[in-house]
Amino acid sequence: MLYTDSAQLKVMMKANRMLLFNKNVSEPFTVLPNGFFVTFFDDDENVSATLKGNYGVRYDISKKMEAKYAVEVVNKEGVKLETEKLIWNEITKKIYTDAHVKITTATEIIQGYGLESNQDFTKYKLKKLTGTIQLQNNEQ
């Protein structure tokens, strides 16, 4: 699936299997039972971040996607978010969770509960920080 805005590529989603539910439901939705991979693009159509998970549900009207199980977000700087549950709001272009999160940067590992971020994962806020581990470079 490709999402564009004014003929400019913004989001590309790949999944091996998509189950569409649009009859006898208040809001049509798509289930991605075998995992998915989403690529976000900036205004110059360069990759700004990726999102993957082992299971997903996307709601057509509210434009929200719930990602579950081994969810990872990686931004263009290589900063990685790992969690078991994440919501992506396509309208506000935000991602958030109340679950445990682990953020790995080049110099540290940050853990906590709850996170809010832009979809490019360049500006994020942890709700409850539980630990920070400084990584040392042993090369001398």
Class of domain 2-134: mainly beta
Query: Would you list the domain boundaries of the chain?
Result: 2-134
What pTM value is reported for the model? 0.85
CA atoms within 13 A on the CB side of 48: 17
Q: Tell me the C-alpha distance between 131 and 110, whole Å.
A: 6
- What is the per-residue pLDDT across 25-84, written as a single tens digit (0 to 9) for each? 899 999 999 999 999 998 888 999 999 999 999 999 999 999 999 999 999 999 999 999
Q: Tell me the C-alpha distance between 118 and 132, whole Å.
A: 22
